[in-house]
């Protein structure tokens, strides 16, 4: 049941994004559920949610852990969604958000102070195989990122698997943690920093020319880039590679 994770669910504030959202909340409260923890970090935990003993997930939950003097990431999430909607940026929209004061939850030693509920998507999120099967996919993704940058959207975590894509719907942003929306198009350095995570993850998986390909496509739409900028871009990719290596080393030693 929902109360296993959120025994004080009635004390939460809620923000519903569509008409079905209240029905979803009622199901979560009244129907027997199975939760499967799919990711754990110091700041949040991810769960797939199924009805009863079913092995087919119906919902995806990102639940936020209270930490001392840390901001309310659910309210920040809502602020970003509203800003992206104003800019008409395609995104995977949740059913609803819910939250309470994270510091109060921390003092009361509650497991979570809020979260985000999405539909569960069994397909649609990019994987590396998609790039090998569709040679134009990377070019299209870079063009999509350029369109976001023109609107002042800095994604930050541009790893390819954070994007949803279908032929019918095109590209959508999913992971909004770290997303910032500025009032004018991004400057050169922000654009290149934003492309660096995408390049690093593709190279990590075996696309050896990812840096060059991304650079060449982006330069067609942003011709003011120079060789000095290319060196800066490569350094940003290398920084992210080193960060991942250190992260994996820490995980192996823990």
Which residue range forms the structural domain that includes residue 180? 128-245
Look at residue 55 and tell me whether its pLDDT is greater than 90: no
Give residue 8's pLDDT: 87
Whether 184 is in a domain gets the answer: yes
Does the pTM surpass 0.85? The reply is yes
109 shares its domain with 139? no
180 shares its domain with 149? yes
115 shares its domain with 132? no
**Over the range 76-97, which residues count as b (16 or more CB within 10 Å of their CB) and which as e?**
ebbebbebbeeeebbbbebbbb
Of 69, 85, 119, which closes a domain? 119
**Mean pLDDT score, 229-240:** 97
Looking at the 3D structure of the chain, how many domains does it have?
2
Whether 254 is in a domain gets the answer: no
93 shares its domain with 149? no
Q: Which residue has the higher pLDDT, 18 or 248?
A: 18
Provide the Cα torsion 71, 164, 222, 192; round to 10°.
40
Look at residue 15 and tell me whether its pLDDT is greater than 90: yes
Give residue 131's pLDDT: 95
Give residue 74's pLDDT: 96
Give residue 254's pLDDT: 66
**116: pLDDT confidence band, cut at 50, 70 and 90?**
very high
Give residue 54's pLDDT: 85
**Mean pLDDT score, 68-78:** 92
Whether 253 is in a domain gets the answer: no
Name the β-bridge partners of 173.
Answer: 91, 163
């Amino acid at each position: 049941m929902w109360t296993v994770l959120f025994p004080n669910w009635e004390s939460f504030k809620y923000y519903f994004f569509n008409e079905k959202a209240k029905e979803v909340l009622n199901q979560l409260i009244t129907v027997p559920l199975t939760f499967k923890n799919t990711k754990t970090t110091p700041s949040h935990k991810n769960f797939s949610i199924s009805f009863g003993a079913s092995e087919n997930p119906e919902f995806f939950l990102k639940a936020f852990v209270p930490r001392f003097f840390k901001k309310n990431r659910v309210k920040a999430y809502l602020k970003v969604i509203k800003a992206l909607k104003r800019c008409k940026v395609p995104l995977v929209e949740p059913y609803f958000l819910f939250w309470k004061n994270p510091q109060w939850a921390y003092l009361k030693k509650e497991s979570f102070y809020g979260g985000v509920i999405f539909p569960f998507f069994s397909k649609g999120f990019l994987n590396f195989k998609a790039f090998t099967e569709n040679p134009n996919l990377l070019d299209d993704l870079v063009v999509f990122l350029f369109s976001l940058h023109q609107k002042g959207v800095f994604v930050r975590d541009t790893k390819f698997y954070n994007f949803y894509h279908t032929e019918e719907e095109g590209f959508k942003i999913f992971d909004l943690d770290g997303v910032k929306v500025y009032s004018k198009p991004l400057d050169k350095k922000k654009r290149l920093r934003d492309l660096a995570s995408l390049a690093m993850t593709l190279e990590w998986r075996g696309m050896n020319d990812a840096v060059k390909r991304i650079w060449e496509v982006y330069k067609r739409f942003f011709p003011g880039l120079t060789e000095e900028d290319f060196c800066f871009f490569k350094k940003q990719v290398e920084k992210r590679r080193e960060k991942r290596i250190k992260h994996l080393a820490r995980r192996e030693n823990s």
